[in-house]
Chains A and B, each alone.
Chain A
Amino acid sequence: MSIFRNILTKSTSQLKTFSRLSTQVRKCSNISESSLPDKGQDELIDFEVSTKEMKYVERLMPQLTVPEVPKHSSYPTPSGWVPPREEALSLPYQVRRTKNHMLPVYHEQTHQNRHCVHIRKVEGDIWALEAALKEHLQQLYPEKQLASQVHEVARSIRIKGHYIHDVADFLISKGF
């Protein structure tokens, strides 16, 4: 009943309808009829229809498709996420974000000590991206030998070594 009282005390611009509510007195063995409140046969109870609370239901329901990232006031976000920038369109190569708006850069490990960086979803001149990546990583690690693989059909690049964070930073700096 308190729910009805709360709705009634809200703004009267809400739609108000009245309905006849026939009270049904249930016969319970442990409750005597005299203890129940007096109700007339045709007492009218007014209620309001409100759809403002539906958002609390909708945010609990599972989403079928990944939604767009909401606009934040500043980047990077508290989790470290950075949106892609428009200046990346002018480059001869592009690295598209995944459907979850993340960079398509993955760390692969086999045999306990073999680390690779896997960059997927490369569009445009894939060899130019590979050359740029190797040049950038060689500057950071001059004494290391860099081995890489370009898969033109699958549009991916693999680089041997534990350089995932350097590669991610490089791609973010380019605006992907």
Chain B
Amino acid sequence: MLKRAFCILSISKNSFAKGSFGNDFSIIHFKSLSTTCRCFQELTQSSVDTLDIDGSKHLPKQRSLPIITSRKLEYVSQYSQPKQAWLESLETVDENKIGLIDLHPDVFGAFPRIDLIHQNIQWQKLYKKISYETLETRAEKRGGGRKPWPQKGMGRARHGSIRSPLWKGGGKAFGPRGPQSYFYMLSNNLRVAGLCSTLSIKFAQNNLHIVDSLEIPSDDPEYMEDLIDTRFWGFSVLFVDDTDMMPRNISLAVQDLPSFNLMPTYGLNVYSMLKHETLVLTLAAVEKLEEKLLYQLHRTERQAKFRLYQ
């Protein structure tokens, strides 16, 4: 009974087992080169972090809370207002709101296009797929060169070879032929719309949290588990920062927890965002994502006909 229960548990969490997660990965580096703290310093005039000579940061001091700041948003249409989100912190296990920031409505408040999200997920699944199925044709099958019996006079059906598709052990007429790739590229606009829709859905369903940085006080995995349980951040969490050199503590805390993953902004994709229940973005990641997605939404199409996948 216990064994079966354990098996069921392992199946339900199988998709998060190490090594079988597809796009997601957890990179461990021991030096933080995140630009998040710098972004936050530019944003607020409160007490700043101090940087030691050897590169390690002091934990930020207590600020006067909450700080309400307005970020500079570009390309804001007259028809939509900026969305607002809490700026949180991972310094304590309990919820720690340190400010309120504006989010661009075209990126975080876009209409949720579930059809485009489906197209994105299909694309992400299929473009890497190579099917290695092969079946031999009647020409490739061993034997079958001789006519088995004369055309007439036997009282049997007429046949030319024992390896024709009609025969048992014969070749396959129109079967799968060798390595076949299912590669195709979704157009730029569809991929951008998929990302904006997914981010908007995450925000609308309260599954998006913005933190100042991914610095945590200890590298104990229990700290992460307690934090996520206390804040009800869901079974699985995806942490996204602008850099791929993640802080030491969070890298060590998260490396053996398969449902919590670290990711740089260039790895963000629709499949991963839907796979994880909660999405945690740092402020630097928000800035970078907005900059990139808004550029794609407002770019000129001069060179479109010369580009391969547009």
Contact = CB atoms under 8 A, between A and B. Distances in A.
A115 interface: no
Contacts, number: 35
B300 interface: yes
Contacts of B297: 99
B21 interface: no
B72 interface: no
Interface stretch (A13-21, A62-70, A106-114, A141-149): A62-70
Given A99-B297, A153-B114, A155-B111, A62 B302 contact: yes
A46 to B, nearest CB: 42
Interface of B: 77-80, 111, 113-115, 295, 297-300, 302-303
B113 A65 contact: no
Contact of B299 (A66, A86, A96): A66
Interface in A74-96: 84, 86, 88-89, 94, 96
Nearest to B112: A153
B301 to A, nearest CB: 9
B113 A96 contact: no
A154 interface: yes
Contacts of A94: 79
A86 B113 contact: no
A135 interface: no
A86 B78 contact: yes
Contacts of B298: 65-66, 99
A123 interface: yes
B260 to A, nearest CB: 33
Given A63-B300, A66-B299, A99-B299, 18 more contacts: A62-B300, A62-B302, A64-B299, A64-B300, A65-B295, A65-B298, A65-B299, A65-B300, A66-B298, A66-B300, A88-B79, A89-B79, A96-B77, A99-B298, A123-B79, A123-B111, A153-B115, A154-B115
Nearest to B111: A155
Name the interface size band of chain A. Answer: 10 to 19
Nearest to B295: A65
Contacts of B111: 123, 155
Interface of A: 62-66, 84, 86, 88-89, 94, 96-97, 99, 123, 153-155
B302 A154 contact: no
B256 to A, nearest CB: 41
A88 B79 CA distance: 9
A154 B113 contact: yes
A154 B193 CA distance: 11
Which 4 residue pairs across A and B have the least CB separation, nearest first? A94-B79, A65-B298, A99-B298, A65-B299
A155 B302 CA distance: 27
A145 to B, nearest CB: 30
Nearest to B302: A62
A89 B78 contact: yes
B302 to A, nearest CB: 6
A63 B113 CA distance: 30
B159 to A, nearest CB: 50
A154 B111 CA distance: 9
Contacts of A63: 300
29 contacts: A62-B300, A62-B302, A62-B303, A63-B300, A64-B299, A64-B300, A65-B298, A65-B300, A66-B298, A66-B299, A66-B300, A84-B78, A86-B78, A88-B79, A89-B78, A89-B79, A94-B79, A96-B77, A96-B79, A99-B297, A99-B299, A123-B80, A123-B111, A153-B113, A153-B114, A153-B115, A154-B113, A154-B115, A155-B111
Nearest to A94: B79
Contact of A64 (B77, B78, B295): B295
Nearest to A153: B115
Contacts of B300: 62-66
Contacts of B295: 64-65
Count chain A CB atoms within 10 A of each CB in B78, B80, B295, B303 and give the residue with the most. Answer: B78
A88 B114 CA distance: 28
A89 B300 CA distance: 27
